[in-house]
Amino acid sequence: MASGTGMLLVYIVGWGIVFGTFVHYYHKRKAVALAKLEAWYPSHPERDIYYSLLTLQKSQPDAVSNEVLKAALIRRAMTDIMRAVEVQANKATLPTLVKAGAMSEEFLHQFNAAEAELNAEMVSVVQEAERLQKGWGNGIMPAASEMINSSRLRELREEMLKQSFEAANCRRSVYMEDLSPVEREKATTDGTSENQALLKSDVLLSSIFNMPIGEANKIAAAAHAKRQAEAEAQNKEASVAETEDEEASVAETKDEDAQAEEETAAAA
C-alpha cells in the first residue's frame, strides 16, 4: 500500500515538473515574441521635434522661446488625439476579428501595447504643458482637439469649393464645345440668349474663390483649349494609324501580286 502511494506521489510530482517546465518556457517564448513585435506607430515625428527643441533650448536658451515649444507641443497633442480616435475606432473590432481567426493574437497584443503607449504619451503631453505654463495641462487637449476640427472643416470646405469650381468650369467648357461656330459667335455677342446662358456660368465661376469674371473666363478657355488639343491629338493618332494600316495593306497586296506573278512565270 505504501509502495503504491509512493509511486502515485512520484507520478504526480513528475507530471507537475513537466507541466511547470512547459508553462515556464511557453511564457518565456511568448514574452520574447511580444518583445519582437513591431510598434503599431513606428515613429512620432512631432514628439521628436518637441524634444529636439527642448534640448536646444537647454543648450541655447535664446534660440528657442517658450512660444515655439508650446506650438510644437500643440502639434504633438494633435497627433496624439488623432491616433487616440483611430485606436478607439479599432478597439471594438480587433478582438472580434481575433476570435473569428481573421487575425493573429499577436496583432491584438501589438494593438494593446500601442494603446498603453499612447495613454502614457498623452499623460506626458499634459505634464509638459503644465511645466511650460501653470494650469495649461487641463487645456492643451481641448485646444488641440479644436484645432483638429478647424483644420478638417477647412480642408472639407476647400475640397467642396474645388469640386464646385471644377464642375462650373466643365459646364462652361462643355457648353462652348457643343456650340457651332455660329452659335459660339452669338454666345460672345451681348443681348443674345446664348450670351445670357454663358454669363450665368461666368457669374458662377467668378463667385467661387471670389475670382474676377475675366480670370474665370481665362481658366475656362484654357480648359476648353486643352480639351480641343487632346481631341485633335487623338484624331491625329487615329489618322496616322489608319494611314499606316492602308500602307501595310497596299504593301501586302503588292507582295501577293508579285508572288502570283512569280508562280505564273514558274508554271510557264
Residue 126 CB partners (closer than 8 Å, separation 6+): 137, 138, 140, 141
Cβ–Cβ under 8 Å, residues 166 and 219: no
Instruction: Flag whether pLDDT at 223 surpasses 80.
Output: no
pTM: 0.52
Tell me: the pLDDT tens digits for 234-266? 888 888 778 877 777 777 777 777 777 777 777
Tell me the mean pLDDT in the region 172-197: 68
Tell me: the pLDDT tens digits for 69-90? 999 999 999 999 999 999 998 8
Cβ–Cβ under 8 Å, residues 49 and 75: yes
Largest CA distance in the chain: 122
Cβ–Cβ under 8 Å, residues 52 and 63: no
Tell me: the pLDDT tens digits for 97-150? 878 877 778 888 888 888 999 999 999 999 999 999 999 999 999 999 999 999
Give the Cα separation of 80 and 118 in Å (integer).
7
Give the Cα separation of 39 and 36 in Å (integer).
9
Measure the CA angle with vertex 133, ends 85 and 148; round to 5°.
25
Average pLDDT of every residue of the chain: 76
Tell me the mean pLDDT in the region 186-205: 64
3-state secondary structure at position 67: helix
Nearest to 202 by CA among 228, 227, 176: 176
3-state secondary structure at position 131: helix
Question: Where are the alpha helices (H) located in 92-139, listed in sequence order?
Answer: 93-99, 105-132
Nearest to 73 by CA among 113, 33, 133: 133
Give the Cα separation of 107 and 104 in Å (integer).
5
Question: What pLDDT does residue 210 have?
Answer: 46
